[in-house]
Structure 1
Amino acid sequence: MPTDSLDRKATFTLPDGLEIFGGFSGDEMQRSDRDPVRFPTILSGDIGVSKQIDDNVYHVVTLIDATDGVSVDGLWITDAQNDRPEELGRGGGIYAVRSVLRIRQCTVTRNMALGGGGLWNEESMIDISYSTLSDNENRAVHNNNSKLTIRETIIESNRNTGHEGGAIFDSHGSATTAVDCVFVSNHSQSEGGAVFSLGTSVYVNCVFRGNRCGDYGGAFFQWAGSLTLTNCTFADNWVRNFFGGGVSSIPKPTIVNCVFWGNRSPRGDVQRQQRSTTSAVINHSCVQGWTGSYGGVGNHGLDPRFIDFDKGDFRMEAGSPCIDAGDNAAVTSPHDLDGNPRILNDVVDMGAYESICSDVEPVRLKCPGQSKLKATLPTRLPDGGTVIFSSDADRPKSAPVRRGKAKAKWDRPPDGSEICASGCPETCRRSKCE
């Protein structure tokens, strides 16, 4: 229940075995009818004076010894302000100790703590999927001797006013596995704009874009433990001092089927600006400025030909040297970041996205009536993929590929607007019916 108390220690304490489902409007007949995006269920720490943060609660959600597991699905967890000193300042949005927590379709945002503004995990197992962790201060997640699994989640615009990771921190004894995630615009004063790890790090089909920090590892800094990167894309990350605009790693990382491009640092040649390690196991990857000094097989420094680097679209154009250039033996996920099949044309691509077509024809438009418009991408595509059709006059449409074709329908937009298709090289055509 909401509180009218001014007690900043007020919190939603979740007992072991609890399942919470949000996103209901009130007229659903069954749980599957709910819509957490349209009807968010909000757990807020904003007590006292509304929108005045210095009287907000310390922890919005608390779990202690929930060893059988707690599930939260379809919630917003927001507005914690844990500004207490030292150990009391751990955890803002969620404080979990010796617990098992499953987070699905949730948004954890605008929380602050001295450590773990979004989540503090102490000797816990956390599984996050289909969620957003954004705009948290002093990291989205702090793992202390904990295990974290993240799938199909956006980690965006989190910041650390101190050091060691803007979005995720892993202590010794911690392990993080991230699959199909996007890390964008996270910031730390130094050592890992998005991630700092002393533990075991496994990242698959992830994009790191626009992350930054002061020293070492604009996106990622692995200080100890181990680092494995498979089919990841690091682009447009930067560091203000020293090396490794994309990744810095002290232990020898294993890197397969990855792309490093357009990352920046003030020191080192172009290759060291992408990733800075004393040694590495690197194979079948594209590294800007590649010199061959790291050895390995199947590596190159050719332009990956992103569809739109400036807008952060790191899918690849037809003819990219990264298409069909990876190592199938390294693939651990059946699909790419878009949800398309991970291996097409018998050989996996480099990077987080699988190219679903090669040569592409212009979008074909038909107007079956005065108020309807149908767009078709006529190029033969592999079944099971997805094409995004977008219009500057309407919302994008996600179209599955069936029998080699992808189609979308709209209420007819004004003549002269554009219909575009992406997932292949982007093509556009004016909507005027012929």
Structure 2
Amino acid sequence: MNLNKLFTILLFFYLPTIFAQSNIIFVKPNATGSGKSWSDATGNLRAALLNAAFGTEIWVSQGIYTPTKCTICNASERQKSFEIPNGVAVFGGFLGTETQRDQRNWRANRTFLSGDIDADGRATSNSYHVIYTQNVGDKMILDGFTVSGGNADSSTTPGERYSSGGAWYNDGRSGQIGSPTVRNCAFTRNFAIAFAGALYNNGGFNGYCYATFENCQFVNNFSRKEGGAIFNSGVFGGICNPTFTFCEFSGNRTEGSGGAIFNDAQKGRCEPIFTNCQFIKNEIVAERYGGAIYNLGKGGKCSPTITGCLFWANKAFSAAAVYCLGSEQGVSSPQITNCIFYKNEANTGGSVYANAGEADVTGASTGESKPVISNSIFWANKALTTRHLRNINGEPTLSFCIVDTTSCAALHGGKGVGVNCGSGMIYNQNPLFVDADNGDFNLLPTSPARDKGSNFLAKNLTLDLAAEPRIINDSIDIGAFEFNPK
């Protein structure tokens, strides 16, 4: 074989690799190179992001990264964040030797984005936001990171930059978009003096937010106002409909409403989709509402879709799990399917609260709150008033549910037409979880929940909360876990 032909063959095989690597920036802690390879990696992740073009991938080796470093950190230093441009994909979890992205192990090679810019272990001088994005679509990817130590404690207007979204301020307001793709990330120990200890999705004022989160954790975040972990804003003509799949929200707290999440649709739309998510031990630490989720449909539409989720041991003054307010001609009517509500606790409303606003002079409510709940289990929730469904002029509808009351009428507390119960209701029969108090909500073989749900009402649900096939026999089970005899 002549040399020219051999060179052509080699070029054919190696050119794709060379071309692909030319669109990759390599980052290692404390490295000083150009970022063109692992052996010539850069250590400045923030600069790499600022210089990245649409279509660039950034591969980040295990370690801890901060947006800047300072000893005495003034406001200017604290305003620096990892600013991820539109169309840039950032992957953590590399050891620092890989040649293919799928060789990384993000679980073993932990990669941290930290707001502790002065490395003193205290939050006082930390970054206001660890991450900031503006006008990004779904080609902006963050995958394989732990984001912690954000401290949005500025005295700016609540909801503005520096006061909200300690881990990440995702800015899609005023005609922009805020729709990143986020996978395999954890957001933990972040703070906001106003909204969203961890993540503020701002699609307000004619903006758009269709962010997607898959296999992410939001743990031990705190806010002084609304949304212990997340605040989703679609206010005043905006649309904020993020999607969360196989995500966990645990140990988040707020002094406002929405222990884990606050969805705000004042004169706009905010209709997130939660599929196979867990809400565990989130808490309101003041006399407020929605231990896990608060849905505000004041003059707008706030009707999330909540499917295959677990609500366990959340606490609030009112509505330990989910609070729905549709007022001033607004709507808050979530669809809740194949969920478990277990040992949530409140003063009023141990699980779901439907509030359509107070009646006007004609006697009609000023809004609408009609949650539709099916294939779900309500068990051992606690409240001084109304253990399960608190209702103020709302109209919750249940079908194919297991509840620990003697009748449909016993579910209702409050005022208005009460709770509507359809087909397939099971009253006062223990669902027989394997070991619920220790977190095992799988069904025992003799559970009355087996094969008693409605396939039609769960037609788009293919996996259960354990990522196992959703229907084993002909009929779906009630609750978030399908009985599997294997």
TM-score bracket relative to the smaller structure = 0.7 to 0.9
Amino acid at match of 1:282: L
Alignment match of 2:273 (pick from 177, 182, 193) = 177
1:17-28 residue pairs with structure 2 within 5 A? 17-28=87-98
Distance 2:232 2:201 in 1: 5
1:187-202 residue pairs with structure 2 within 5 A? 187-188=283-284, 189=286, 190-198=288-296, 199-202=302-305
Partner of 1:103: 182
1:29-428 residue pairs with structure 2 within 5 A? 29-67=99-137, 69-85=139-155, 86-87=157-158, 88=160, 89-98=163-172, 99-113=178-192, 114-123=194-203, 124-138=209-223, 139-145=228-234, 146-162=240-256, 164-172=257-265, 173-188=269-284, 189=286, 190-198=288-296, 199-214=302-317, 216-224=318-326, 225-239=332-346, 241-242=347-348, 244-250=349-355, 251-268=369-386, 273-277=387-391, 278-293=394-409, 294-301=420-427, 302-331=429-458, 332-357=460-485, 381=486
The question of whether the paired residues in 1 share the 8 Å contact of 2:138 and 2:181 is answered with no
- Of residues 247-256 and 14-23 in structure 1, the stretch that sits farther from structure 2 once superposed is 247-256
Between structure 1 and structure 2, the one with the greater Rg is: 2
Amino acid at match of 2:291: G
Q: Does the C-alpha gap of structure 1 residues 342 and 67 become closer, same or farther in structure 2, counting only changes over 3 Å?
A: closer
State whether structure 2 residue 69 is matched by structure 1 residue 4: yes
The question of whether the paired residues in 2 share the 8 Å contact of 1:49 and 1:55 is answered with no
Report the alpha carbon displacement of residue 309 of structure 1 after superposing the two structures with TM. 2.4
- Secondary structure of the equivalent of 1:23? strand
The question of whether the paired residues in 2 share the 8 Å contact of 1:61 and 1:95 is answered with yes
The question of whether the paired residues in 2 share the 8 Å contact of 1:262 and 1:274 is answered with no
Distance 1:78 1:295 in 2: 44
Report the alpha carbon displacement of residue 66 of structure 1 after superposing the two structures with TM. 1.9
Partner of 1:429: none
Report the alpha carbon displacement of residue 282 of structure 1 after superposing the two structures with TM. 1.0
Distance 2:473 2:79 in 1: 57
Distance 1:345 1:125 in 2: 35
- Secondary structure of the equivalent of 1:330? helix
Distance 1:179 1:152 in 2: 6
- Secondary structure of the equivalent of 1:322? coil
Amino acid at match of 2:404: Q
Where has structure 1 moved over 4 Å in runs of 4 or more? none
Identity of aligned residues (%): 30
Distance 2:303 2:86 in 1: 28
Distance 1:29 1:97 in 2: 34
Amino acid at match of 2:320: G
Distance 1:297 1:350 in 2: 13
Distance 2:447 2:403 in 1: 14
Q: Deviations over 1:50-108 (max 9, x none)?
A: 21111001011001122464110001111011111233412110001112211100011
The question of whether the paired residues in 1 share the 8 Å contact of 2:354 and 2:396 is answered with no
Q: Deviations over 1:254-297 (max 9, x none)?
A: 011000001100123xxxx0222353221100011141333311
The question of whether the paired residues in 2 share the 8 Å contact of 1:274 and 1:288 is answered with no
Distance 1:213 1:38 in 2: 36
Distance 1:167 1:76 in 2: 18
Distance 2:303 2:421 in 1: 24
The question of whether the paired residues in 2 share the 8 Å contact of 1:45 and 1:57 is answered with yes
Report the alpha carbon displacement of residue 49 of structure 1 after superposing the two structures with TM. 4.6
More helix by share: 2
Q: Structure 2 length as normaliser, TM-score?
A: 0.70
More strand by share: 1
Report the alpha carbon displacement of residue 312 of structure 1 after superposing the two structures with TM. 2.3
RMSD: 1.4
Distance 1:133 1:27 in 2: 30
The question of whether the paired residues in 2 share the 8 Å contact of 1:237 and 1:264 is answered with yes
The question of whether the paired residues in 2 share the 8 Å contact of 1:290 and 1:300 is answered with no
Distance 1:196 1:154 in 2: 17
Q: Structure 1 length as normaliser, TM-score?
A: 0.78
Amino acid at match of 1:156: S
Q: How many residues align?
A: 350
Amino acid at match of 1:276: R
The question of whether the paired residues in 1 share the 8 Å contact of 2:307 and 2:339 is answered with yes
